[in-house]
Amino acid sequence: MSTVKTTSGTNGLLQSEPLLFERSVEGRTGWRPATSGVPLADDLPEDLLRQAPMRLPELSEPEVVRHYTRLSQWNYSIDTGLYPLGSCTMKYNPRVAEDLAALDGFAQLHPWQPVETLQGALHVMAFVEDSLKALTGLHAVTLQPAAGAHGELLGLLLIRACQESRGDPRSKILVPASAHGTNPASASMAGYQAVEVPAGPDGILEVDTVARLMDDQVAGLMVTHPNTLGLYERNLSSICKVVHEAGGLVYGDGANLNALMGIVRPGDLGMDVMHFNLHKTFSTPHGGGGPGAGPVAVTQELEPFLPVPVIHRGDPLTLEWDRPNSVGRVRSFYGNFGVVLRAASYIMEMGAQGLTHASRMAILNANYLRVRLSKAFEVAFPQPCMHEVILTDRLQRAHGVQTIDIAKRLMDYGFHPPTVYFPLVVPHAMMIEPTETESLDELDAFADALIQVAREAGQQPDTLKSAPSRPSLGRLDEVGAARFPDLRYDFDSTQ
């Protein structure tokens, strides 16, 4: 074996891919642009000029294309298999939305066109706004925020603007202990002090706890519903009343809206402002850092503060800029229109009944896994869950096997691990959200793999502790990667 040269590419499970720098051959070129006719600038400061050419790798075009194509084939995505990340709603993205987005009438639009020529796009945006209003029972929507956390920040700025206009500016935001980390971060970024709210013993927020923390400095409560324990916040409408009576507003984090569509309207519970993750609930692609969209819905009281421009519902549709109470712009143009367009396609494809059915199936699938896995694993909260379920490693820890080992071993069975060690309030959590787009066969295959891993924990714990063994790379050194990140190619040490 030692005489066989390791090659690039995929050979069964043998995957290896050197860096482009390592494959570079001096003088090799892929593509040579014509000599530019533009004269060189000669007035740049000397100290800003590069003294030697950049040391870029030198390769042919097919070498580069193959390198990136091979790497792309190593990716795991929702198009290759189940992706059960809790609170991430990794559901399948229907291809029809891509067809729609590729239509010339949409793809060739430019946001600087005269608004009379953008009517189709504005109708799509108005349709998505109206759909989000119908689903939440709230009064108005802006589509501009570029992602969920951006929506959170905007929502908090709207709360501040509203309370300042009441002559009642405040300094603190209540955030439940189980919240997404982005909630306290957004509160902090908006200049508020985040105050943690503990949940009751069954994982549910209690009215008295919130009431005790409310004072004239608390601007409001940021709450995810269902919460990140996958549980229905059954006290929420009483909690909203308590917050309102003390002069606060309620912010709804829409990360888990996939459990509520057509079942509960957050506005009816008393939420004042809420963001949506179109890339979760409305099945637009989760970017790998690519575009998301985090629209925000508000009550009538908060509407005057929405960012400009807003769509004015005349005939024709126009964009309204003259809104003196607006918090201003939060995004160039009108948000990530391509994402909004795909969400429109999803909403039209599903219809009201389809969306309701999707939420019901998401809940059913999570509960199916909860029951199937409840013998092999401890379920953190045994009551029926919503769209996601949390397991722990308690039964496996007796064998020295922890959550991380279970997650890594699952990879040997070809599955992407669930969210681990989150939410923080459940020690050693494994958080599984199957979504409605997985079939019963797929759910069973995933459950079978997890049950097999639980069995192995008792019989061959060392296999788990050294897992994974089948992917191209084994257990990675997470501590080393965090403490000594190696992000630069060091020419001198390798050449």
Partner 1 sequence: MQFPPELRYSQEHEWVRVEGDEAVIGLTDFAQHSLGDVVYIEYRSQPGDHVAVGDVVAEVESVKAVSEVFSPVGGELLDTNEDLDGAEELVNQDPYGGGWLLRIRLSDPAQVDALMDASTYQAFVAEQDS
The residue assigned the tokens 């009550």 is 299
Among 315, 322, 478, 486, binds partner 1 (CB under 8 A): 478
HSE, CB side, 13 Å, CA atoms: give it for residue 328: 3
Task: Report, in Å, the least distance between residue 154 CB and partner 1.
Answer: 25
Q: 3-state DSSP helix/strand/coil percent for the chain, to nearest 5?
A: 40, 10, 50
CB–CB of 341/100 below 8 Å?
Answer: yes
Q: Where are the beta strands (DSSP E) in 1-46?
A: 9-11, 14-16
Q: How far apart are CA 385 and CA 364, in angstroms?
A: 9
Does 398 participate in binding partner 1 (rule CB under 8 A)? no
- Residue 226: is the preceding peptide bond cis (ω within 30°)? yes
Nearer to partner 1, 407 or 443 (CB): 407
Nearer to partner 1, 47 or 477 (CB): 477
Nearer to partner 1, 276 or 422 (CB): 422
Among 38, 41, 482, 487, binds partner 1 (CB under 8 A): 482
The piece of 48-56, 361-369, 419-427, 430-438 that touches partner 1 (CB under 8 A) is 419-427
Nearer to partner 1, 93 or 419 (CB): 419
Nearer to partner 1, 262 or 461 (CB): 461
CB–CB of 359/258 below 8 Å?
Answer: yes
The piece of 81-89, 167-175, 363-371, 422-430 that touches partner 1 (CB under 8 A) is 422-430
* Other Cβ atoms within 10 Å of 290 Cβ, number: 11
Does 424 participate in binding partner 1 (rule CB under 8 A)? yes
The piece of 126-134, 284-292, 315-323, 416-424 that touches partner 1 (CB under 8 A) is 416-424
Q: Which of 299, 313, 321 is nearest to 162 (CA)?
A: 299
The piece of 51-59, 336-344, 357-365, 418-426 that touches partner 1 (CB under 8 A) is 418-426
Q: How far apart are CA 328 and CA 305, in angstroms?
A: 8
Does 479 participate in binding partner 1 (rule CB under 8 A)? yes
The piece of 197-205, 259-267, 356-364, 477-485 that touches partner 1 (CB under 8 A) is 477-485
DSSP reduced 3-state for 1: coil
DSSP 8-class letter at 52: S
Task: Report, in Å, the least distance between residue 193 CB and partner 1.
Answer: 11
Tell me how many residues contact partner 1 (CB under 8 A): 8
Q: What tokens were used for 326?
A: 């607006």
* Other Cβ atoms within 10 Å of 403 Cβ, number: 21
The residue assigned the tokens 């590729």 is 102
Task: Report, in Å, the least distance between residue 408 CB and partner 1.
Answer: 13
Q: CA 41: distance to chain centroid?
A: 44
CB–CB of 421/174 below 8 Å?
Answer: no
Does 427 participate in binding partner 1 (rule CB under 8 A)? yes
The CA-atom distances, in angstroms, between 128 and each of 235, 272, 280 are 30, 19, 15
Nearer to partner 1, 76 or 421 (CB): 421
Task: Report, in Å, the least distance between residue 206 CB and partner 1.
Answer: 20
The piece of 85-93, 117-125, 308-316, 421-429 that touches partner 1 (CB under 8 A) is 421-429
The H or E element spanning position 196 is: strand 193-197
Nearer to partner 1, 96 or 424 (CB): 424
Does 441 participate in binding partner 1 (rule CB under 8 A)? no
Q: How far apart are CA 314 and CA 337, in angstroms?
A: 20
Strand partners, 194: 173
Q: CA 445: distance to chain centroid?
A: 25
The H or E element spanning position 142 is: strand 140-142
Q: How far apart are CA 56 and CA 92, in angstroms?
A: 38
Nearer to partner 1, 96 or 476 (CB): 476
Nearer to partner 1, 227 or 336 (CB): 227
The piece of 93-101, 284-292, 454-462, 474-482 that touches partner 1 (CB under 8 A) is 474-482
Task: Report, in Å, the least distance between residue 483 CB and partner 1.
Answer: 5
Task: Report, in Å, the least distance between residue 475 CB and partner 1.
Answer: 12
Task: Report, in Å, the least distance between residue 422 CB and partner 1.
Answer: 8
Nearer to partner 1, 265 or 397 (CB): 397
Task: Report, in Å, the least distance between residue 479 CB and partner 1.
Answer: 4
For partner 1, the binding residues (CB under 8 A) are: 421-422, 424, 427, 478-479, 482-483
